[in-house]
Structure 1
Amino acid sequence: MESSRVVGSRMLRQPPDPSTIQDRFLVQYVGWYACPGDGYPITPRHHGWLQWFDHSRPNMKRPRVDLFPDVSSYSASELYPVPNLKTSTNEQTFLFSHFHWMVEHGVDGAFLYRWAGHLRAGQEHMRYFCDEVMDHVRKAAEKEGRVFAIQYSVTDTAINDPTGILEEDWKHIVHEKGVLSSPNYLRENGKPVIALMGFGWHGANHTPMLVRSIVAKIRKITPGGAYIIANVPAYWRTLGFDADPNSEFVSVWLDEFDAICPNISPHNGERMKADMDFIRRRLSGGRRSIDYIPSVYPGQSKYNLTNGSQGWNEARRDGGRYFWNQVYNASKLRVRTLYGVSWDDYCGGFALTPVVPHKHLLPNSDKSEFMALDEDDYSLPSDWYMRICGVAAEALHQRRLLPQTMPWQILAEYWSNQPKHKELSALSSENTAPRGYLNNIWRRKAKSQNDLRRLRKAKALPSTSPAQMRPTLGNSLSQSKIVVDIDEEHEAINPQFLRAKEMDAFADDRFEALLQLLSRILVQRVSVGKRLAAIYLDQVDAQHLTDFLDRVLDEANPADFEEKTRKRILSLLSRLAKSSQVFPARCKLTSVQCDLTKPLYQGGFGYICKGAYMGRTVCVKAVRLYERQQDSALFLRVSKELILWSHLSHPNILSFYGVWLPDESAQICIVSPWMSNGDLNHYLSLYPDAPRLPLLSDVIYGLNYLHKAKIIHADLKAANVLVSDAGRAMLADFGISQVASSRLATTTIVSLGTPQWTAPELATGDGVGPTSESDIWSFGCVVYEALTGNVPFHWYKASHQLIAAMMRRSVTPLQAPTDDGSSQIDTRLRNIMERCFNYVEKDRPTSADIIQFFAGLNIANNRPSLAKNDTTLLAAPKARAGNELDYDCVCKILKTIRQTTLEQDDGSEDEGV
């Protein structure tokens, strides 16, 4: 069995292949929680709190959930205040109407539940509700790269013969909705997957003939046939407890279906092996096979849902052990697919998504009680069960065995080698986001206010009919028209349109209207940069526009925009910094204590001092700007570092505190944490026995984060890798980093880069700009430094000698004329280094390839978990300026940009920074 270290190593997720259900971690997704104003009304008199409270009223007497969700990571515009429900500290309680996080944790997709009872004649409002959820699940699955499939349920209904309902609805889905045409609809052997739940259960009064008939009809309706899963009772084989005692059902499951997925039970682990052995014996010697998909769940509590008839915390989670034991048993049996119950079912206490971690954070009510994760006396992060899903999903994807003992350390450090947010999720926001819409990862967003955030997709706003509009709590916008006309853009910036105070500035209609206006400019594909250069902006106006663009990027995940849109915004910020020499106000520090007359180190464009900020020791990089008029390239170099760095967040990227402008006007100082261990070379000289591989693994994780964000480091070397107090490597010095663009001049790199670490295509002056491939060459050089203690190409005394050798394509750092230690490098490492040093750029490995290589080495990592000091670095306190945006000023600038016309107005020019 492999070690838990290997199983737990974070791997960047590739989108799952929708053509197979094998090696997949899939979850149940009910998608039925709603808040007032969220999408299509359930009934004309419905109050909107679907499933959160009985009778749809938050009167606290009849809540339907035991577990209370953790909503701390959601933006205010996505939350709904619950009337009369506050925490023990008298803070307002909120609920949500969306779900997310699948992509981040490697969960491959979901089975979307459709209850037969909601699809009956006379239930048109519920039918529209179900279709609305399905539409947005499909859109988000396609955007986010997840798979999805339909799962019908006839449980808890009074339908003795659901044949007509399922037949008509499946025709509706296949032929009218065209759901199977989605490239992300899950298939197996070319056939679309569909699951049926609730048949053959005790007391359901279904007959084997009925089930055979429904399966036949579904296969007939589906072009090319269907791969059908039976969600069977837990005791389907022994016909006890929850199963219909008719023994003919056993033959139905094994003869008519392509896979069976038994219901959850307290003895899942023991029953899995017995079930699989039984199937193997029954089908041995025949041509037919059937897949076995176990259900796994974290625990159960249905006290509020059943009005007290079922026990409180009935199936205790035990800090995750209950869930882990089921996952481990499935792994031990080499199961290829897992079905997690449930991604979002807070009613049954099954939810895998975040739950309030501590009791004192729960709502305080004398009429009802809710549950936190510490109910079992464990102090856990709110996403603990999603982390377990992530580790289990990795094992499935890599076909690895899980350890029998739950890997507490791996789960506790789950994000230490992988960004928690950001590049793993292609965050999207459609123009209408009613219930069921998966924004980040299976995520549903509130309507109205977020409809204005068109910048996310940079597409024109389609018209919205009055029938589609539903009022959102605290929303004063016109119900007949949410998209303001061009002439009304300026008038739309009005304080009377603010949401309730608890919705704060993030949902401020003035800001939303500016976003809409910026979106309209960007979708025109004109050169905003050139237009900006054509109009005069004084420093005051430039500052307001800079703050607005910075806020657009800062108040969302880095992956919140399409790649080109984000690059254009970064480009505009860079142009403003270059032309107007202004910085985002939130990045300006005012309380830095530092004596700039006592530098510790000096470089080509400035010097480094040690200072203090908010009680922390900081590194102050002072950049000389005494020749501003003649040194715009140098200033641009600094502005890139500031703007790019301020929007990065990763454990292997040095944190950014902000910029300090001391009284001496000749300096701009960039402030970051002080790293007492120094750079990688210095650290290894202090600790020569320190293991190299964990540090190099840190470097490639940080580099992969940059590459995922389309950022090129362009000056990677050991001197630009700093080491934290916990012995973790962090990338630094983005002085010549830039957003990837094919139009950058070679001279930018040759003049600023370091020849010994520079890829040959850059050093030889072939007119190429830095690329992710050139970063990989540099990474190979860092590996060489760490393993040999030498500078790459140390045998060349002059740069022109090295460049000449590179032009002959005859040299790599591994070809020293005398033994410099490189001959002693492990064969596997030497092979990956040689691949990094390939003169054909496209044949070099990617950063993701190298991460997979390191994972395969099973590296022993005895370093402490993220220590307090390191955690502090990750949670670096950035400045927060008290200045409010001048909305009128920004609106005026944007309208001027929009109305300006140029002879050459190609928007693609904006993409290079």
Structure 2
Amino acid sequence: MRRLSILYGILLLIVFTACSKKSNPKPPKDDDDPVVVVPETPEESPVGDVVGKITVGYQGWFTAAGDGSPQNNWGHQNIESWPDVSEYATTYQTTLPDLENGQPAKMFSSWDASTVNKHFEWMKQYNIDCAALQRFCNEITPGSDIKAFRDGMATKVKNAAEANGVKFYIMYDASGWKNLEVMKADWENTITGSLDLLSSPQYAKQNGKPVVSIYGLGYAHHPGNAAEALDLINWFKAKGCYVIGSVAGQWRTGTGDSQPNFINTYKAFNMISGWAVGRVVDGNYGSWVNGDRDFCKANGIDYQPCAYPGTSFHNTNGDASPKNQFPRRHGDFLWSQFAVFKNSGVRSVYVAMFDEVNEATQIFKTAENTSQIPAGKWFLTLDADGVAVSSDFYLRLVSDGGKMIKGQLPYSASHPTPHIE
């Protein structure tokens, strides 16, 4: 027994010595290899209402004479592409000539609940997960007609999202405004106050937190310096929000449209989405997306790049903006961005925009050819690049792009979507 006790004691001594060495490693001598401590990479957020999903921007700002809106007049009619209104329950006669095919030139109003419901019905049909409702800081002054319109639109979007099973969230647009503080008051008094949007089961949440997005922080000609922007982001985070930053495309470098010295401010966002509209996304776009992705991953930020189908602003700017400035190339332009994202391992995408016919970034149904636009007028039609496509082509294309991003379709460098179905 004594021998066993001695052996047991020796064994305990060996185990204790080994553990001591493991927990208190010998510091390296000058001639030893340096000890390199590799920091743990922050984990990306799990799939939620925006992470791992396809989100579209939703303007909802078109009004018409006689629509009963607070404006009750034509608004945002500086349109570049003509909408296909064949499926709308209510439309309004414009003063434009009849369409080339003899049909009257009618326009929808976003104020009609049936219009918003139709749009969200399309989102559901074409596998769009979430809509970011635009809310402009220069339009939310209490007591104004335009704020009444924006508040009404928020309620209509909530109802349509609930009816169709699509998520939505508020996206503030700070461009054209000087006071960032207006967002704090609006969030407390209207969004979570009188409208009570966050009580909707369809209000988007990520990591259990209600989502809010802010467009414009860090832009060279938009309001807020780095400290003011950081204060706003932290204010929303203190309110329990998951905060997305929709920032200039060159946000990491402080060049182009972006301000320098904003990097630490950007690090406060929960998600970053670099704006792409009007930006060249051919050539080395993959390396830029990879750079954004790597920065976000290294700093524990989710990444949501922006894709757009093409853009044109001629009917508003005249000859200062060429017709068909960034051609859609019958879907090739938009799909090339989805292909880059897939190659870069991107999980979340923001598509600009669902309904903005003002800058021809819309993906919803618009005129296929000149027979479907007012006679004698120029509007950018979907066949402008020499290939006929159906009015729902870009909805179907985004559906397929989303499926590829989610792994439901295999990677393809060229789009698989039929031009006409």
Q: Which residue of 2 aligns with 1:379?
A: 388
CA distance in 2 between partners of 1:24 and 1:280 (Å): 19
CA distance in 1 between partners of 2:222 and 2:135 (Å): 18
Q: Which residue of 2 aligns with 1:40?
A: 69
User: 1:331, 1:401 within 8 Å by CA — same for their partners in 2?
Assistant: no
More helix by share: 1
2:268 aligned with 1:251: no
CA distance in 2 between partners of 1:281 and 1:296 (Å): 19
Q: 1:170 aligns with which of 175, 187, 191?
A: 187
TM-superposed CA distance for 1:353, in Å, is 0.5
Q: Which residue of 2 aligns with 1:200?
A: 218
Distance 1:308 1:232, change over 3 A: same
TM-superposed CA distance for 1:412, in Å, is 4.2
In our comparison, the structure showing a higher alpha carbon Rg is 1
User: 2:65, 2:74 within 8 Å by CA — same for their partners in 1?
Assistant: yes
User: 2:271, 2:303 within 8 Å by CA — same for their partners in 1?
Assistant: yes
Give ranges in structure 1 of 5+ residues lacking alignment.
1-16, 53-63, 414-913
TM-score, structure 2 normalization: 0.81
Give the SS at the match of 1:339: strand
Distance 1:204 1:400, change over 3 A: same
TM-superposed CA distance for 1:73, in Å, is 2.9
Q: Which residue of 2 aligns with 1:209?
A: 227
User: 1:23, 1:337 within 8 Å by CA — same for their partners in 2?
Assistant: yes
Letter in 2 for 1:50: G
Q: 1:24 aligns with which of 50, 53, 57?
A: 53
2:400 aligned with 1:396: no
Distance 1:259 1:277, change over 3 A: same
CA distance in 1 between partners of 2:282 and 2:386 (Å): 24
Q: Which residue of 2 aligns with 1:126?
A: 146
2:158 aligned with 1:138: yes
Distance 1:333 1:134, change over 3 A: same
Give the SS at the match of 1:374: coil
Letter in 1 for 2:54: F
Matches within 5 A, 1:731-742: none
Give the SS at the match of 2:97: strand
Distance 1:170 1:18, change over 3 A: farther
CA distance in 2 between partners of 1:110 and 1:215 (Å): 21
Identity %: 25
Letter in 2 for 1:74: Y
Q: Which sits farther off after the overlay, 260-269 or 235-244?
A: 260-269
CA distance in 1 between partners of 2:338 and 2:395 (Å): 13
CA offsets, 1:833-859, max 9 Å, x none?
xxxxxxxxxxxxxxxxxxxxxxxxxxx
Aligned residues: 364
User: 2:180, 2:224 within 8 Å by CA — same for their partners in 1?
Assistant: no
Letter in 2 for 1:191: K
2:168 aligned with 1:148: yes
User: 2:382, 2:391 within 8 Å by CA — same for their partners in 1?
Assistant: yes
Q: Which residue of 2 aligns with 1:231?
A: 246
2:92 aligned with 1:92: no
CA distance in 2 between partners of 1:135 and 1:395 (Å): 33
Letter in 1 for 2:129: D
CA distance in 1 between partners of 2:235 and 2:412 (Å): 43
Give the SS at the match of 2:98: strand
CA distance in 2 between partners of 1:279 and 1:323 (Å): 19
Letter in 2 for 1:87: L
TM-superposed CA distance for 1:370, in Å, is 1.4
TM-superposed CA distance for 1:278, in Å, is 5.4
Q: Which sits farther off after the overlay, 204-213 or 165-174?
A: 204-213
User: 1:18, 1:184 within 8 Å by CA — same for their partners in 2?
Assistant: no
Distance 1:400 1:335, change over 3 A: farther
TM-score, structure 1 normalization: 0.38
Bigger relative contact order (CA 8 A; separation at least 6): 2
Instruction: Quote the RMSD (CA, aligned, Å).
Output: 2.2
CA distance in 2 between partners of 1:132 and 1:205 (Å): 26
Give the SS at the match of 1:376: coil
Give the SS at the match of 1:86: coil
User: 1:18, 1:185 within 8 Å by CA — same for their partners in 2?
Assistant: no
Give the SS at the match of 1:136: helix
CA distance in 2 between partners of 1:371 and 1:110 (Å): 25
Distance 1:217 1:328, change over 3 A: same
Letter in 1 for 2:108: F
Distance 1:181 1:273, change over 3 A: farther
CA offsets, 1:738-783, max 9 Å, x none?
xxxxxxxxxxxxxxxxxxxxxxxxxxxxxxxxxxxxxxxxxxxxxx
CA distance in 1 between partners of 2:378 and 2:251 (Å): 35
CA distance in 1 between partners of 2:54 and 2:216 (Å): 22
Give the SS at the match of 2:54: strand
Give the SS at the match of 1:83: coil
CA distance in 2 between partners of 1:327 and 1:269 (Å): 14
Give the SS at the match of 1:102: helix
TM-superposed CA distance for 1:268, in Å, is 6.7
Letter in 2 for 1:153: D
CA distance in 2 between partners of 1:236 and 1:268 (Å): 18
CA distance in 1 between partners of 2:73 and 2:291 (Å): 48
Q: Which residue of 2 aligns with 1:661?
A: none
